[in-house]
Amino acid sequence: MAALPRRIIKETQRLMQEPVPGISAVPSETNARYFHVIVTGPEDSPFEGGLFKLELFLPEDYPMSAPKVRFITKIYHPNIDRLGRICLDILKDKWSPALQIRTVLLSIQALLSAPNPDDPLANDVAELWKVNESEAIRNAKEWTRRYAMDN
Amino acid sequence: MEQFESLLTCCVCLDRYRNPKLLPCQHSFCMEPCMDGLVDYVRRQVKCPECRAEHRIPYQGVQGFPTNVTLQRFLELHAQIAGELPDPTAGQIMERCNVCSEKAYCALCAHCDKKVCDDCKSAHMEVLRREIVRINNQVRRGMNRLQDILGVVERNTTNLQTNCAAVAGEVDEIHKRLAKALKDRTDFLRTEVDRYLATELRNLTHLKDNLELELSNIQSNCDLAEKHMNDDTEWEDTELMDTKEIFLKTVEFLRNFDYEAGDYNRRVRFIMTHDPNQLVMHVASYGELNITQPNAYSGGLQPSQGLTRSKSDHRLATQFRQQEESKNYYENDEPILGGRKFGERRPPPPERHTRDYNVTDDYSGYESEHRPRRFRSRFVRSHQQDNDSDTEQSIRSAKTEKQEKEKEKVVDTEDATRGPLSGIFRLSDCPRVMQRIMDAESGKKKEKKEPPPPPKPVVQPTPQPRRPPPAQRQQSEDDEITRLKRQNKGAASSQEPDRPAPRPVEEERTSIARKPPTPAREASSDGESDESVGSLQRTQQRKAPPPVQKPAATGRRPSADAPTPHRPAARAPSTESSASTESSGSAVKHTGAILTIAELKAKYCSGGPKPNPRLCSTGNERTAPVTTNGTAGGAQRVQSRFVGSQRPTPAPAPAEPAHDEDSDTSSEEETDSSEESEEEPAPQRKPESQAMARSDIGPLLARSSNARSDAHDNKSKDPPPSQTRYRSRQPSQTEEEPAPRYGAGSSYNNRYGSKPREEETTSSIDDDSKYPTARSRYLALKERRNRLARSKSSHTGFGAGDDDDQDEPVSPTTASPSAYLAARYGSGTGGSELSRSRSSHALKSRESSPERPPTGEKDGAALSSWARYLKNKYGSRGKERDTSGTSSSASRRLSLGLPLRSANELASSDDDSKNAAGSPISPTAATAAVAGFAAAGSSPRSQYLQKRRLQFSVGSRGSEPGCFTWPRGIAVGPDNTMVVADSSNHRVQVFDSNGIFIKEFGQYGSGEGEFDCLAGVAVNRIGQYIIADRYNHRIQVFDPQGRFLRAFGSQGTGDGKFNYPWGITTDALGFIYVCDKENHRVQVFQSDGTFVGKFGSFGAKLGQLEHPHYIAVSSTNRVLVSDSNNHRIQVFDVNGRVLSSFGEEGSEDGQFKFPRGVAVDDQGYIVVADSGNNRIQIFHPDGTFLRAFGSWGSGDGEFKGLEGIAVMTGGNIIVCDRENHRVQVF
């Protein structure tokens, strides 16, 4: 395997040295491009108090292409489907090499704070969110408590 | 500061900006790889990572974006403030690593000669380090070899000195002796003269006194008488009477006195016993230094083996170095240090090519010819060496200029410290290395990642004064030039001593010594005739099957009659007549096919003790169930069995439905019966065959007596045959015991001393006394040869009377072995022919002998072996041809055994004796031959039992004529020459029986007449060389002069294809047997290369082979194969059926370890080169152990890796001692 690009090394170092509050990203021991990520549910959101596990993988041509990020912990969110896939523009067409792992994770954290049901991925959740936001939030809280709090 | 830092950081690579490019949106990014990676090539746009603005890419790419100069200034400023080192990669351009294909700042890696990234490079350096450690271990292990050699060289130095001193002493001694003898003789002669003078003078004065007295007396008497004898005086009568008496007496005295002038006229004359000129010549050249090595240092008479070997090693080392150096010029990927300085980079290929061209120009002709050969002649080599060192220098200097700047160069060390043989120099002499070591020791780490000093094999603890690195780098061209000059000088002076000074002299001498034994005058006539005959024969052989049939039929008829018991007596005349009447068809009779039939019959009649009658007579066969086949069936049988089995239907004219089958069965029957004949013979036929065998004596004796009487009639001056025979036999009895027939020393006396005198009582009784020296005898011989030549013509006249196609002008004076062969094979008539060519050969050898007097005596020995050889090989066949149609002489020979042989001998020794008057040698030869056979029962055995002591050895390592590099196959040529496959010199060398170089042919390559590590050699009976060209996977055939005739075979496993053919041999019929080593089989070919058959397959069972190496065929057509990896010798019949096998792995008597060479003598004794045990083993014909000798080592009679082996006609065993690079003769 080719040597790790300098940028990844730098980013990893910086993530370790100056961790972002509420976010932890630890590279896998076997693959420096694979990160175990834990994001705390932002305050004032239905996900508050939850610890959400994600996986993040830096593809071969990173930073020219976006990292692959997926929720491992089940989450009730209109932009995240049952498989944990995230609908976030910076992970798709709005990706820029100027973004980094930390910015991506911050964006994801921000996404938890501000669900965007107009650009849904999980249609049923988005529908409920639009139709009956409170129930949706209740569901989200329920899910958070059930899946993101027991450990 | 933090923010300032981040402002200087590219947001894509998160690194300090490198060559920041400003986008129209005012965001800056590194040009590479950041900006590069942002490019959308499809839309030719770049999207700003910060603001996502899209910008069109300028025409010339992202370089076209303006550089953010401000940012760059900031970067510089920051670097100054922070005291950072300048970016090492500044100004470099990123490339893809050629190993991991990552984009990075790449540098040239010396290991793989590619531009690679740092990571890969360090990995490669790690690899290199490990390799060096490994190689260093090897070097360490191999170093003692060099030390051994050093020891050997030292020993050899002392050896050489002692040897030279001894020789000098010897020469002094001889000088003293000669001087003393000369002085003694001179003194003696002078005193003799003085004494003679004194006595004679005394006598003369005495006589003078007397005469004076007489004169005065008579004078006074006369005076007195005149005065007084008149009337004046009275005289008494008595007085007068007395006076008268006195006067009468005086008158009588005067009348009678005769001065015996003779007495005193005896002039003393000084007569030289030898021609003074010759004597002077003899003295002037009373000895010469015989240095076995043509290129050896001038020195002792007999440089020891070790010396020559080490010398060649030394040369080899030099060669090796040159190879390495020259390789540098010819091959681009040359990873070896050789010729290159430490740390130096190889010059870029294109440049090298131009230089290369210049170099090769000087000797391109030679080079192109010889480049593939690893060993060049010394002359050219040294020449090339000069050139090489030149180019090397120039390349190096060119390189220096071209060095990349950041790479420090190892400055060349003084040339004096380079190893003169390998070109390796001390690493410690290399300033660069020392710098490294010092750095390492002082713990100072260099910034640059450079390889630490590699482990050094020969680092000296005392570092040479070295120049400081800056100076090194500044070394200018001028410095280079001076260095170059110095080096050249050094090279010139260092190479001078390499070449032995006395070389020209030596060469002159060797050229004299090696004067080819075939003088120029032979070339024209003989070569021609030989060739024509050869070609004739070839065509005949090619045409053999069809035309053979008719004459074969006629020729066979008498033979068919022969076995009938009623006609034993009638047979002789019939064969005689058939032989003579068939002179026209004789050409056909010489083809292989006819011989085949004869030979086959011979085999069947006598292969076993009780022959199978069916095969004895083809007539029987014809009356057998196969009768319908008629001639066609018979004709098929005429052909060799191989041919027969290959082509079961030889186009028979009267084709019946059952015909093919019949002929098949007949051939099968034939082979079957051959088995029968050996296994269960028909007893009732036994007496018959015996009768036949007995009857064979009749015609032969009759014939030989005929021949004798013919000879008698035609050559009146010849002594009567019976007498001759007696005389020629007489000495044989005295020489009965296995005397040193070929001992060079004794043979002189035997052959020229007593024996000839015995023989020549009539013609030249005082030969020896008249010509006491060998030299003068040669003159005498020469003289006599001329006489003989004259007489010869009449002789040949009679001999050639009844053959038409023979080439009469094979005149004895120009005869050569090839001429002999031509005569032999070109003519159909028998005994006289034999004698003629024999004698012509005798003449030939005598003729050549004066050219090299020192070996003359040996020549005589060779001659006799020649004669024997002829007897063995052709003499009997000559008869066979005469009586061809009856049964072959082989059958006679075998059925009758000894008596017949001696009968043959008699017949031919009788031929010899016809020349007795002229040639003192041939009778001796004949007697030697007779003696050889008389003792045949016990002689070889005892001879072999005595084998142990080395007679002599030939060659040492080297590529000059007479030297070998891994000799492998060996064979004995028709005139007892030794033919050696000089494997790694890719040539064949031919030596005479005394080991004197005759000729060589072949060179490296795959073209016609070129070899690639040839292995086996064989010589067929017409003198053609058959060579197993191992790495070319083919067989090549050369004519007796060494000219390419044909090649056949290629790599493969099919019929007629080879996989490393090794041993090769040929049988009496000219079939070629090849050990196809890697195919684990033996293949058989006709002499023209037509595939005939094969046998053996991989395995250890009986009849299977594993790496068969060498092969031999006995006179009884048993095929012996050294089944090397099965540690045994297997014996096959010519059809490939296993007859027996002997030997197993081990080192006891009769056991083998990887036997290689195998040979069989004409008595069937088997000689095996037991390679793994480094000994020679001799076996009885039945495979029981007789004797073993030899051991590992490089002394006399010691071996290191045996290869081919052969038995000469004199019983000498010659063997290739591979690792000692020599041939030993026992």
How many Å lie between the alpha carbon of A94 and the closest alpha carbon of chain B?
8
Could you tell me if B395 lies within 8 Å of chain A, comparing CB atoms?
Answer: no
- Which of A6, A7, A61, A104 would you mutate first to test chain B, the one with the most B CBs within 10 A? A7
What's the angle, vertex CA B387, arms to CA B382 and CA B392, rounded to 5? 120
Q: Is the pLDDT of residue B895 over 60?
A: no
Q: Is the pLDDT of residue B1214 over 70?
A: yes
Write b or e for each residue in B985-1010: b if 16 or more Cβ atoms lie within 10 A of its Cβ, otherwise e: bbbbbbbbbbbbbbbbbbbbeeeebb
* B12/A63 CB distance under 8 A: yes
Q: Which residue of A has its CA nearest to B28?
A: A98
Q: What's the mean pLDDT in B246-255?
A: 83
Separation of alpha carbons B647 and B637, rounded Å: 11
| Domain CATH for A112 | 3.10.110.10
Sign of CA dihedral B431, B434, B438, B439: positive
Asked if B731 contacts B924 with a C-beta cutoff of 8 angstroms, the reply is yes
Separation of alpha carbons B20 and B26, rounded Å: 11
Nearest CB among B37, B102, B117 relative to A97 is that of B37
Residue B384: which pLDDT band, with cuts at 50, 70 and 90?
very low
Q: Does domain B2-93 have CATH number 3.40.50.300?
A: no
Q: Is the pLDDT of residue B973 over 60?
A: yes
- Quickly list DSSP for A48-63: TT-EEEEEEE--TTTT
Higher pLDDT pick, B184 / A117 = B184
* A7/B11 CB distance under 8 A: no
Could you tell me if B100 lies within 8 Å of chain A, comparing CB atoms?
Answer: yes
* A64/B38 CB distance under 8 A: yes
Residue B90: which pLDDT band, with cuts at 50, 70 and 90?
low
Cα separations (Å) of B1060 from B917, B1004, B1087?
54, 16, 20
Q: Which residue of A has its CA nearest to B37?
A: A64
Residue numbers in B near A8 (CB within 8 A): none
DSSP helix/strand/coil, B1084: strand
Specify the range with the lowest mean pLDDT, choosing from B140-149, B416-425, B973-982: B416-425
Q: What's the mean pLDDT in B881-885?
A: 40
* B13/A6 CB distance under 8 A: yes
Percent of chain B whose pLDDT exceeds 90: 6
**pLDDT tens per residue, range B294-346:** 443 443 334 334 334 444 444 444 455 555 444 444 444 444 444 444 444 44
Annotated catalytic residue A87? yes
Residue B672: which pLDDT band, with cuts at 50, 70 and 90?
very low
Residue A24 lies in a domain: yes
Asked if A2 contacts B123 with a C-beta cutoff of 8 angstroms, the reply is no
Q: Is the pLDDT of residue B187 over 80?
A: yes
Q: Which range marks the domain in which residue A97 is found?
A: 6-147
Q: Which residue of B has its CA nearest to A9?
A: B14
Write b or e for each residue in B1135-1168: b if 16 or more Cβ atoms lie within 10 A of its Cβ, otherwise e: bbebeebbbeeeeeebbbbbbbbbbbbbbebbbb
Residue numbers in B near A61 (CB within 8 A): 37
Residues 26-55 of B with CB under 8 A from A: 34, 37-38, 47-50, 52
Sequence letter at residue B72 = Q
Q: Is the pLDDT of residue B513 over 60?
A: no
Q: Which two tokens stand for residue B463?
A: 């570092």
* B11/A3 CB distance under 8 A: no
Residue A1 lies in a domain: no
Q: What's the mean pLDDT in B881-904?
A: 40
Nearest CB among A11, A63, A98 relative to B50 is that of A98
Nearest CB among B13, B49, B100 relative to A2 is that of B100
Asked if B997 contacts B962 with a C-beta cutoff of 8 angstroms, the reply is yes
Write b or e for each residue in B250-261: b if 16 or more Cβ atoms lie within 10 A of its Cβ, otherwise e: beeeeeeeeeee
Q: Which two tokens stand for residue B637?
A: 């049988």
CA nearest B706: which of B573, B535, B796? B573
Specify the range with the lowest mean pLDDT, choosing from B475-484, B514-523, B597-606, B1025-1034: B514-523
Q: Is the pLDDT of residue B489 over 80?
A: no
Cα-atom radius of gyration of chain A, to the nearest Å? Answer: 16
* A3/B47 CB distance under 8 A: no
Q: Is the pLDDT of residue B931 over 50?
A: no
- Determine if the peptide bond prior to A63 is cis (ω within 30°): yes
Give the position of tokens 């052989």: B541
Q: What's the mean pLDDT in B910-938?
A: 39
Asked if B14 contacts B42 with a C-beta cutoff of 8 angstroms, the reply is no
- Which of A17, A61, A64, A94 would you mutate first to test chain B, the one with the most B CBs within 10 A? A64
Asked if B1108 contacts B1080 with a C-beta cutoff of 8 angstroms, the reply is yes
Could you tell me if B96 lies within 8 Å of chain A, comparing CB atoms?
Answer: no
* A61/B13 CB distance under 8 A: no
Residue numbers in B near A94 (CB within 8 A): 52
Specify the range with the lowest mean pLDDT, choosing from B9-23, B131-145, B162-176, B384-398: B384-398
- State the pLDDT at residue B1017: 92
How many Å lie between the alpha carbon of A4 and the closest alpha carbon of chain B?
10
Q: What's the mean pLDDT in B710-720?
A: 43
Identify the active-site residue in A23, A51, A56, A87.
A87
Asked if B976 contacts B840 with a C-beta cutoff of 8 angstroms, the reply is no
Q: Is the pLDDT of residue A61 over 60?
A: yes
**pLDDT tens per residue, range B542-570:** 444 444 444 433 434 444 344 444 444 43
Higher pLDDT pick, B1122 / B724 = B1122
Residue numbers in A near B100 (CB within 8 A): 2-3
Residue B721 φ/ψ region, left for φ over 0, alpha for ψ in the -120 to 50 degree band, beta for the rest? alpha
CA nearest B822: which of B1185, B1224, B532? B532
- State the pLDDT at residue B1101: 87
Separation of alpha carbons B588 and B532, rounded Å: 16
- State the pLDDT at residue A57: 92
- State the pLDDT at residue B527: 40
**pLDDT tens per residue, range B609-663:** 444 444 443 334 443 343 334 443 334 444 444 443 444 444 444 444 444 444 4
**pLDDT tens per residue, range B795-815:** 433 433 344 444 444 444 444
* B100/A94 CB distance under 8 A: no
Residue A124 lies in a domain: yes
**pLDDT tens per residue, range B1129-1146:** 999 988 888 888 998 888
Residue B394: which pLDDT band, with cuts at 50, 70 and 90?
very low
Residue A25 lies in a domain: yes
Higher pLDDT pick, B397 / B56 = B56
Separation of alpha carbons B27 and B33, rounded Å: 16
A31 alpha-carbon distance from chain centroid: 19
CA nearest B899: which of B933, B864, B865? B933
Q: Which residue of A has its CA nearest to B100?
A: A2
- State the pLDDT at residue B87: 58
Residue B1163 φ/ψ region, left for φ over 0, alpha for ψ in the -120 to 50 degree band, beta for the rest? alpha
What residues contact A91, with CB distance under 8 A and at least 6 apart? A66, A67, A68, A69, A104
* A97/B102 CB distance under 8 A: no
Q: Which residue of A has its CA nearest to B33?
A: A64
Residue numbers in A near B119 (CB within 8 A): 3
Mutual angle of helices B630-638 and B545-561, in 10-degree steps: 100
- State the pLDDT at residue B1074: 92
CB atoms within 10 A of CB B651: 11
Nearest CB among B15, B38, B101 relative to A97 is that of B38
Cα separations (Å) of B278 from B287, B773, B781, B846?
14, 10, 17, 20
DSSP helix/strand/coil, B643: helix
- State the pLDDT at residue B693: 40
Number of domains in chain A: 1
Give the position of tokens 């003779």: B262
DSSP helix/strand/coil, A4: coil
Nearest CB among A2, A14, A97 relative to B12 is that of A97
- Determine if the peptide bond prior to B33 is cis (ω within 30°): yes
Q: Is the pLDDT of residue B1165 over 80?
A: yes
Q: Which two tokens stand for residue B649?
A: 């239907």
* A3/B100 CB distance under 8 A: yes
Q: What's the mean pLDDT in B408-420?
A: 52
Q: Which residue of A has its CA nearest to B38?
A: A64
Could you tell me if B87 lies within 8 Å of chain A, comparing CB atoms?
Answer: no
Q: Is the pLDDT of residue B876 over 70?
A: no
* B12/A6 CB distance under 8 A: no
Q: What's the mean pLDDT in B896-914?
A: 39
* A6/B117 CB distance under 8 A: no
* A64/B50 CB distance under 8 A: no
- State the pLDDT at residue B261: 55
Chain A residues whose C-beta is within 8 A of a chain B C-beta are 2-3, 6-7, 10-11, 14, 61, 63-64, 94, 96-100
- Quickly list DSSP for B390-422: HHHHHHHHHHHHH--TTSPPPPPPPGGGS-TTT
Could you tell me if B14 lies within 8 Å of chain A, comparing CB atoms?
Answer: yes
Q: Is the pLDDT of residue B250 over 70?
A: yes
CA nearest B68: which of B14, B6, B25, B12? B25
CATH topology of domain B952-1225: Neuraminidase (2.120.10)
Q: What's the mean pLDDT in B1173-1187?
A: 89
- Which of B5, B9, B12 would you mutate first to test chain A, the one with the most A CBs within 10 A? B12
Percent of chain B whose pLDDT exceeds 70: 46
Could you tell me if B128 lies within 8 Å of chain A, comparing CB atoms?
Answer: no
**pLDDT tens per residue, range B334-377:** 444 444 444 444 444 444 444 444 443 444 444 444 444 444 43
- Maximum average pLDDT range among B215-224, B417-426, B889-898: B215-224
Nearest CB among B14, B34, B119 relative to A3 is that of B119
How many Å lie between the alpha carbon of A141 and the closest alpha carbon of chain B?
36
Residue A91 lies in a domain: yes
Q: Which residue of A has its CA nearest to B27?
A: A98
DSSP helix/strand/coil, B1036: strand
